[in-house]
Amino acid sequence: MAMPQTDINKTFNFVLNEYKRNTPDSELIDDVKNVAAKLDKKSVTIAEYEQNGKFHPCTLQRRFGSWFKVLEICGLEPSRSKLNISKEELFSNLERIWISLGRQPRYNEIKKPFSKYSAGTYENKFGSFHEALESFVAYMSNGSESSQNDSSENVSFIENKTASKIAHKTKREISDRLRFQILMRDGFTCKTCGRSPINEKGVKLHVDHIVPWSKGGETIPDNLETKCEQCNLGKGNAFVDKK
Ligand SMILES: [Zn+2]
């Protein structure tokens, strides 16, 4: 009987498919979604995908950057057990929460949907929630000079209206760390009107240049201050805040 030949070919094709580089993104994504649906889960671990998926997890990780990204694109929840969420990602979530509260978040506030990750994720990664906060503060306090120690090679020029050039020692962009440091320094309170998310829900804080960068102001702590969105947008106008 000539039956095994075709079966072998089939298997062989299947193996080749796994490593195909030109599989469209949508096909990869759909397959992860199918696995999630099949398992009836809101998230899929790498191991679960390896067992149930059509492609090799590495193919997806390489294509999209990380398994976390894969889940994000699929609209699935980040799985906590096997997934290695980076510290940076956890810090950036914590930073957003801290800024929106205007203070150190409490353990029971670290939950979905307000937080992208549960407090348990932080505990797993750092040992305890308190240690997570400590690492975060240490991380954010680090490198405060990063945006001002640029050497002359990074001096940027911008042209103003009189066509003369302004030499800057710093970049215009305020790094996340520096922004957070200024917010901390200013007590998460608008320097103009005194509003703060600490006592008023939904107040959005910005960190802005005092002397505009376009007028030669540098991106350094002395030239940065905290403003609420309203005061920041009303800058330069006769804008009156309701108090
Ligand atoms: Zn304000």
Q: State residue 183's pLDDT score.
A: 96
Q: What is the whole-number distance in angstroms between the Cα of residue 100 and the centre of ligand 1?
A: 15
How many Å lie between the centroid of ligand 1 and the Cα of residue 212? 18
The CA 94 to ligand 1 mean position distance, Å, reads 24
The reported pLDDT for the residue numbered 42 is 87
| Cα 53 to ligand 1 centre (Å) | 52
pLDDT of residue 235: 59
What string of pLDDT tens digits covers the 243 residues of the chain? 444 454 544 444 444 444 556 789 999 999 999 999 999 888 888 888 989 999 988 888 888 888 888 998 999 887 655 457 888 899 999 999 999 999 999 999 999 889 999 888 898 888 889 999 999 999 998 865 444 444 334 444 444 444 457 889 999 999 999 999 999 999 999 999 999 999 999 999 999 999 999 999 999 999 999 999 999 987 543 444 433
Q: Which residue has the tokens 């002359």?
A: 152
Q: Which residues surround ligand 1, an ion (CB under 5 A)?
A: 190, 192-193, 228, 231
- Measured in angstroms, how far is the CA atom of residue 188 from the centroid of ligand 1? 11
Report whether 70 contacts 166 (CB < 8 A): no
Strand partners, 224: 209
Q: For the domain with range 162-233, which CATH number is right: 3.40.1620, 3.40.50, 1.10.30, 1.20.1260?
A: 1.10.30
Residue 188's pLDDT is 96
CB 84 within 8 Å of CB 121: no
Distance CA(173)–CA(180), nearest Å, equals: 13
**From the CA of 96, how far away is ligand 1's center (Å)?**
19
Which one-letter amino acid corresponds to residue 146?
A: S
Give me ligand 1 centre to Cα 231, in Å: 4
How many angstroms does the Cα of residue 183 sit away from the middle of ligand 1? 13
Residue 81 near residue 45, CB atoms below 8 Å: yes
Ligand 1 centroid to 195 CA: how many Å?
Answer: 6
Q: What are phi and psi of 205, to 5 degrees?
A: -105, 140
Predicted local confidence at residue 121, as pLDDT: 87
In this predicted structure, what is the pLDDT of residue 162? Answer: 47
**Domain-by-domain residue ranges, the chain?**
4-74, 87-141, 162-233
Distance CA(179)–CA(123), nearest Å, equals 26
Distance 233 CA to ligand 1 centre (A): 9
CA of 22 to the centre of ligand 1 (A): 52
**pTM (two decimals):** 0.56
